[in-house]
Amino acid sequence: MREQLVKTAQKLVTVGLNKGTSGNCSIRDEAGFIITPSGVDAEDMTANSMVKMQLDGSFETNKKPSSEWFFHRDIYQQRPEVNAVIHTHSMFATTIACLHKNIPPFHYMIAVAGGGSIRCAPYVLFGTQALSDTAMLALKDRKACLLANHGMIAMGASLEEALAITVEVENLCEQYWRLLQITPTPALLSDAEMQAVFEQFKGYGRWNP
């Protein structure tokens, strides 16, 4: 699991979703979760760098978990179907988040995040319980959200699913940003049209709810 987490953290950098020490990811284990460390470049991470945490907030001695461990912990406590969480400062998700905009259903793939929109949580200082509290509200009935003036959270039943959602949300954010250069009011899909997408996804495999 630690090796898998290292590979995911490094892939996030390789595909341009994180840079330097920004962002973090975690995976649930039998007693809590394992999370990437604070302030370590992904290329320098090893399996031993990963930090095992308990749901009470305690962690391995002589290690320092990502400062964003609060929302990782809260997601695992409140969302039993989630086994992996990814947080990025990717370019377009962060750009839209800095505009404090929810992403509306301009494209049917919005459904991969679990609803008819991708919400943007209000700005709160990083590395705090307050940030986690606002993120949990934005993630209600969703698999991803934006964090104002900060970045994105995505999650899934596995690291593979969480990564796939992260990539798709970033792609949607880029498309939405480009649309906003043309018009402030792009055409949107209706609730009925989005519901039909969810029904179609039920037989689609990867995005099966």
For 2-44, write each residue's pLDDT tens digit. Answer: 999 999 999 999 999 999 889 999 999 998 999 999 989 988 9
112, 152 contact by CB (below 8 A): no
Q: pLDDT digit string (tens) for 129-169? A: 999 999 999 999 999 999 999 999 999 999 999 999 999 99
CA dihedral of 81, 37, 132, 180, whole degrees rounded to 10 = -90
Count of C-beta atoms within a 10 Å radius of residue 104? 15
Q: What is the pLDDT of residue 20?
A: 86
Q: What is the pLDDT of residue 204?
A: 72
Q: Please classify residue 93 by burial: count the beta carbons closer than 10 Å to its beta carbon, then call 0-12 exposed, 13-18 middle and 19+ buried.
A: buried
* Prediction pTM value: 0.95
Confidence band of 205 (pLDDT split at 50, 70, 90) = low
Q: pLDDT digit string (tens) for 82-104? A: 999 999 999 999 999 999 999 99
Q: What is the pLDDT of residue 61?
A: 87
Residues of the chain with pLDDT > 90: what percent?
Answer: 92
Active site amino acids: 68
Q: What is the pLDDT of residue 42?
A: 87
Q: What is the pLDDT of residue 120?
A: 98
For residue 98, what are its two tokens?
A: 């800095």
Among residues 79, 84, 106, 70, which one has the least CA distance to residue 193?
A: 106
Q: Does the pLDDT value for residue 74 go beyond 80?
A: yes
Q: Does the pLDDT value for residue 203 go beyond 90?
A: no
Give the separation between CA 49 and CA 203, rounded to whole angstroms: 39
Give the mean pLDDT of 107-122.
97
Among residues 98, 117, 99, 129, which one has the least CA distance to residue 169?
A: 117
Q: Using CA of residue 157, residue 159, residue 161, residue 163, what is the dihedral sign?
A: positive
Say which residue, 119 or 43, is predicted with more confidence. Answer: 119
Q: What is the pLDDT of residue 34?
A: 97
Mean pLDDT for all residues in the chain: 95
Any residues with CB less than 8 A from the CB of 112 and at least 6 apart, and which?
Answer: 143, 144, 164, 165, 168, 169, 207
Which residues pair with residue 145 across a beta bridge? 153
Give the mean pLDDT of 113-123.
97
